[in-house]
A and B are shown apart, each in its own frame.
Chain A
């Protein structure tokens, strides 16, 4: 579905990605784990056209992706950005409907809205409320619901558990599985490697802009080097 070939991205002299290749197949949950600054978010921003790769290409369902985020959304990739970025000045309803900005299929839109409310009943309760007044967890749910309203087949998620209380972290990962069950494919960037590997089918480990390890999530999870580097203290901090 998505293939990334030898992607290089630099920010003013600093090489954030140095030749990263990866594949995401239909129906999978693929996770990218790595330390801060390893290039995880850069990867997602390069896929959705916010960053210009110095070299390499991204192919989605046979289309080479360019640098126009709006066109990429139209092709069927939605992105739940780091820090959620909900439209704080607009209502929950407006936020969700903006997700469907490019769509014309009103009937399917109404069905999708119902699915979002089944997934996130809290959003339905707060439909008229301004998004800025929601709690962090609710905002994360809104950001996910809004992305689902674009009806993209591939959902990119950037640190969905960041800054959430442990109980909510658990909920968020549960929801990620439920979103996959809706027929979506998920590329998940997470610092909480333990949780990410529990839900994912496959994983890539990024270090300083390179893929240092890839494979089935369960193999990565049991890899001694990975355990020492990413799962040691993290499993205590995030495993509640």
Chain B
């Protein structure tokens, strides 16, 4: 029983990071109808922004966190302006967007390896606030990592704020309208470019938060960006383009992963994850709560 609860907590904690990533991924998909495979690189850069603000610049952790979120949001918007907007202006087929995203991702990852280097960086524990220190809170035989609790709480706060923004503000409604039909929303006077910049900024900022949390729990390293694949699986699993779907998909994926690692084998974890992706695409391409069964490339 203890082991089960322990795995459940691990699963929820890693699931909350997947959710932060998958939500940004899904938001962009809902407006642009393509999978932004460069999202992982934004997460990775966010982690580095947080790390260097904390260590080299000597900022307090809260400020470093904020810089990471803003920096990652800025990178995401810059990527949109430099890489995707020219394609949109030429009405390029969606395949071009995916190839461009992959290219941008390779460029950023290798840029980081060439300049900062491939060695993983560890957040120095003495610079972290107490709630992110290692160590755990004991409840009977169950040990809950403080990092895990903090990750879960920070994610919950971010996602609740996002949902309130999307459902209850005028800009949030504009995002939903544009996701539903870009032509109709333009007829309301909603500028599609504005909405696109907004979703990249929000998705990027959440990616920065996810990057720092991931870096604190594990380490910061250039290949971190490959965890995009996990957020992609989570988003497809839950239903691309749907925020509740991305949330649900992330938690389910992470729970399945931790239970497979815990009870079967760590090596089989990713095989299960990708099996889920393929099975979902075959059985129910729209995902658990997806908006349509169109091409999900």
Residue from the list B176, B179, B181, B188 in contact with A101, Cβ < 8 A:
B188
Residues of A within 8 A of B179 (CB): 89
Minimum CB–CB distance for B120 against chain A, Å: 43
Residues of B within 8 A of A68 (CB): 191
Q: Give the top 8 A-B pairs by smallest Cβ distance, nearest first.
A: A85-B184, A73-B189, A102-B189, A69-B186, A70-B191, A98-B188, A101-B188, A87-B180
Residues of B within 8 A of A88 (CB): 180
Residue from the list B173, B184, B190, B191 in contact with A94, Cβ < 8 A:
B173
Minimum CB–CB distance for A143 against chain B, Å: 8
Residue from the list A70, A97, A146 in contact with B186, Cβ < 8 A:
A70
Q: Is B174 an interface residue (CB 8 A)?
A: yes
Size category of the A interface is 20 to 34
| 23 sample A-B contacts, Cβ–Cβ < 8 Å, listed by A number | A68-B191, A73-B186, A73-B187, A85-B181, A85-B183, A85-B184, A87-B176, A87-B180, A87-B184, A89-B176, A90-B173, A90-B177, A90-B180, A94-B173, A97-B173, A98-B173, A98-B177, A98-B185, A98-B190, A99-B188, A101-B170, A101-B174, A102-B188
Contact bitstring A58-74, B, C-beta under 8 A = 1, else 0: 00000000001110011
**Contacts A97-B173, A101-B170 given; does A87 touch B181 at CB 8 Å:** yes
Which chain B residues in 162-202 approach chain A with CB under 8 Å? 170, 173-174, 176-177, 179-181, 183-192
Q: Is A86 an interface residue (CB 8 A)?
A: yes
Q: Is A150 an interface residue (CB 8 A)?
A: yes
Contact bitstring A127-166, B, C-beta under 8 A = 1, else 0: 0000000000000000000110010000000000000000
Distance A80 CA – B192 CA, assembled complex (angstroms): 18
Q: Are the C-beta atoms of B180 and A98 separated by less than 8 Å?
A: no
Distance A88 CA – B185 CA, assembled complex (angstroms): 12
Interface size on B, residues (CB 8 A): 18
Q: Are the C-beta atoms of A87 and B177 separated by less than 8 Å?
A: yes
Which chain B residues in 74-119 approach chain A with CB under 8 Å? none
Minimum CB–CB distance for B170 against chain A, Å: 7
Residues of A within 8 A of B184 (CB): 81, 85-87
Distance A85 CA – B186 CA, assembled complex (angstroms): 11
Q: Are the C-beta atoms of A74 and B187 separated by less than 8 Å?
A: no
Distance A221 CA – B36 CA, assembled complex (angstroms): 55
Q: Are the C-beta atoms of B190 and A50 separated by less than 8 Å?
A: no
Distance A38 CA – B27 CA, assembled complex (angstroms): 39
Minimum CB–CB distance for B56 against chain A, Å: 43
Q: Is A210 an interface residue (CB 8 A)?
A: no
Residues of B within 8 A of A98 (CB): 173-174, 177, 185, 188, 190
Residues of A within 8 A of B190 (CB): 70, 98, 101
Residues of A within 8 A of B191 (CB): 68, 70
Q: Are the C-beta atoms of B176 and A150 separated by less than 8 Å?
A: no
Residue of A nearest to B181 (CB): A85
Distance A48 CA – B173 CA, assembled complex (angstroms): 22
Q: Are the C-beta atoms of B183 and A146 separated by less than 8 Å?
A: no
Distance A98 CA – B189 CA, assembled complex (angstroms): 9
Which chain A residues in 87-125 approach chain B with CB under 8 Å? 87-90, 94, 97-99, 101-102
Which chain B residues in 274-296 approach chain A with CB under 8 Å? none
Minimum CB–CB distance for A37 against chain B, Å: 20
Minimum CB–CB distance for B92 against chain A, Å: 15
**Contacts A89-B176, A90-B173, A101-B170 given; does A70 touch B183 at CB 8 Å:** no
Minimum CB–CB distance for B115 against chain A, Å: 39
Residues of B within 8 A of A81 (CB): 183-184, 187
**New contact pairs (20) apart from A73-B187, A87-B176, CB-CB < 8 Å:** A50-B186, A69-B186, A70-B192, A73-B188, A73-B189, A81-B183, A85-B183, A87-B177, A87-B180, A87-B184, A88-B180, A89-B176, A89-B180, A90-B173, A90-B176, A98-B188, A99-B188, A101-B188, A101-B190, A146-B188
Residue from the list B170, B187, B192 in contact with A147, Cβ < 8 A:
B187
Q: Is A79 an interface residue (CB 8 A)?
A: yes
